[in-house]
A and B are shown apart, each in its own frame.
Chain A
Amino acid sequence: MRAVPALDVIAVDVAILGSGAAGLMATRHAVAAGPGLRVALVSKGLVGRSGCSIMALGINAALGADDSPAIHFEDIIRGGAFLSDQGLAAVLSDDSPSVIRELSDDLGCAFDRTADGTVRLSPFAGQSRDRKVSHGHMTGLEIVNRLRDDLLRSRPIELADHRALDLLVDDDGVCGVVVLDARRGRPLLLATPVVVLAMGGSAAASYRVATPAREKSGDGLAMALRAGLPLRDMEMVQFLSVGLAAGGSKVTGVLLEESLRFAGATLLDGHGERFMLQHDPERAERAPRDVVAAAAYATIRDGLGTEDGAVLLDCRPIGRATLDERFGDIVARIRLTGIDPATEPVPIAPAAHIGIGGVVIGEHGETELPGLLAAGEDAGGVHGASWTGGNGIAESTVFGRRAGRRAAELARERGPARPSTTAADEVIARVWAPLADAPAGPAPWALADELRDLAWDHVGLRRDDAELRAARYQIGTIRAAAATIRVAGDAAANLAWQEVLDLDSRLTTMEAVVTAALARTESRGVHIRRDHPARDDASWLRTVVVRGQPGSLSPTTVPLTFARLAPDADRAGDT
């Protein structure tokens, strides 16, 4: 281990971890609700330029004359196969109209308008009413840009390229967060009575084919587990049906548009057969996203895909003119891999996109640990067993706002924190351990690739007990190998070291997914068990909660309550 630089300590009233839509919204509202509070905004990458919020296509809100929060709520509950926390789902549907007003009228977001100047509402898969608010294809970017510009008014302490390492806890709850300035290689202790976890945590980024941004290794969820917090619904990992498959290239997993399937593209297996005709003869390629993703996954896993483990999206039926006119951005993305979609089929695979599960929260983002709040993808419970497009950044903004307001209240109630620097030193010693004068052990990226492969193969869209057990075992093996990694260089700007730290979080979040997936012996939403293929409402109107220390996580189940809408046994389509 290399010498650790002296620990810097900064006392703040609120520390917000993550600079996506949830973290930026929390910052804005913590400052607004608590003028004079010292708020720190910690971002693993550049502020407002990390994570996945900027890539969101649209944001749902019940604003139409034929719509209401109650209808939006019902779409969430039925789409999520009744696994949602209904209180949280109601918060999402109730609050999102006023979030849209705020984003538009206060922050200036240029949402698309109709001819009469009102906000345009578009259809989105899984929504029974037109409620997608967008700004072209750049909705998330526009929202995050405006929220980032709001920092010019709210003026938090911005800590870019700072990686959150661990929460510090005393008898009164959270009392600090240990942070690494990854650019300069210096440890920092934020002494704070309130922390908002908004780091976009999920295991989705740890799949071979995956859409999320680089930062998303699940650090927030791993921190939460180490602090003893429960995670719910971790088995629910949402895949999209059409991710680019380009072998080891970084563009693998980059999203193409689901709507290509509805515009006439067909899906072919490795032999040129339209496999959707087997899986869903009536709707074929026009089947819902989850059906197509599962069918493509099964085709690949059965060895019926291409030699490279993909299936083919044949866009030729759409024709070059329409492709260029309607899907110009997507054509450009495909062409990065040297393929012209107008003349040849495009290798694709289902891509892991979002982790539905996360920290158990209440309606204001509060967790079991006093002073700790969670919002956005780090939190669980809103989407149930399947997420629908447009509800992701809605969740981030709605719960980010609530968590920010609650954070300001809590900061006043709880008063200044006095964390022990000894506890911080222990965290720092653990984190600094892999830094050495010479490299040793396996390369961190090789182990990360191993994890991505095993996740895609065994923890994907067709699971069974044996494969999940194999996955759990292999995660343990990789964890043991990871403990032997030593990377050279000093602590500043050391990407190999950062990869080691990422790997640790990835292993923990994937272990949580496997633990929960083993426990849920039924199929529901995106959790598909080959050995338990049916949804089992008699036994499984329960949520799986995982907790424990990395390497020994364990599941319990908690019965769901249905305060507003109960599953009706005779209703078709609740699968």
Chain B
Amino acid sequence: MATSGTAVRVEVARSHPDAQRAFVVAREDAHVILDLLCEIGRQDPSLYYRYSCRSGFCGTCTVLLDGRAVLACQTVVPDGGGTVHLAPLGGFPVVRDLVVDPAPFAERWEAVGARLSVAPASPVPFDGQEGTESAGPGPRPLDPAGRDVIEPSLDCISCGACFAACDLSALDRAFLGPAALTRAMVVIADPRDTHPADRLVAIGGPDGVEGCHGIGACSLACPKGLDPARAIRRLRRWRVRGHA
């Protein structure tokens, strides 16, 4: 059924076999996929879907639009022809309908030790006197060299699009996956980190960077323009030659 000028036909993957799947949503005011979800949610309040910020920062409204992972709040409703198909993100356990459990993503993130290690142990011990900390300098200066490696890889919104796009992540429960490895690259490249060599060992092997087949679906999927495939290539290089 074609999408007419005034209405959009939507087919939604549902968890319950008896749940309504086909919906028609008025085109007026339905600018983005999230608008379709909210309107369908009013037609059938049993639909479970997720969103938060509406601005592309929180990464929680990711769904499959005609098979492609997109942020529902940042994706214009397709114009003309065909039914719009919405489904939950692949590679994750489905909680219900369009909501997935992000646990596999978080587990990989944790497995690479995403938190920077700094000396001394943080947080700095508190002396019990609030306010006295304000004295003193700004943050430690940081050599701008090397920031060009880190900066473009920072703004991960944990939307899971890369994870879902990566057939290794989705199928192989052990593979660390593109987002977590990108985070590892950022931490290893940071001159403040105290354990880059250990980290480079930990992210190796078939479950780590050596497992990546290099197809690059992750980089195509990232709605924020991060390039996980490149981060993984960097990590491989650093494992061989050491990182500068």
Contacts and interface: CB of A to CB of B under 8 A. Distances in A.
Interface string B135-174: 0111111111001001100111110000000000000000
A119 B138 CA distance: 8
Contact of B51 (A97, A152, A183, A214): A214
B134 A246 contact: no
A60 to B, nearest CB: 13
A154 to B, nearest CB: 10
A249 to B, nearest CB: 5
Interface in B177-234: 187, 190, 192-193
Contact of A98 (B47, B54, B133, B140): B133
B237 interface: no
A338 B76 CA distance: 8
A213 B52 contact: yes
Interface in A91-117: 91, 94-98, 100-108, 110-111, 113, 115-117
A557 interface: no
Contacts of A141: 57, 155, 157
> Main SS of the interface on chain B?
loop
Contacts, number: 198
B46 interface: yes
Interface string B33-63: 0110010011001111111111101111000
B17 interface: no
B115 interface: yes
B31 A336 contact: yes
Contacts of B73: 250-251
Interface residues of A, number: 83
Contacts of B41: 495
B18 interface: no
Interface of B: 28-32, 34-35, 38, 41-42, 45-55, 57-60, 73-74, 76, 95-96, 99, 102, 109-110, 113-116, 118, 122-124, 126, 130-131, 133-134, 136-144, 147, 150-151, 154-158, 187, 190, 192-193
Interface of A: 28-29, 32-33, 45-46, 49-52, 54-55, 63, 69, 91, 94-98, 100-108, 110-111, 113, 115-119, 135-136, 138, 140-142, 145-146, 149-150, 152-153, 183, 213-215, 246-251, 253-255, 332-333, 335-338, 363-364, 402, 405, 439, 443, 445, 487-489, 492-496
9 contacts: A46-B58, A100-B138, A101-B137, A102-B124, A108-B190, A108-B193, A117-B144, A248-B35, A335-B76
5 tightest Cβ-Cβ pairs between the two chains A and B: A108-B116, A104-B139, A106-B122, A117-B141, A496-B45
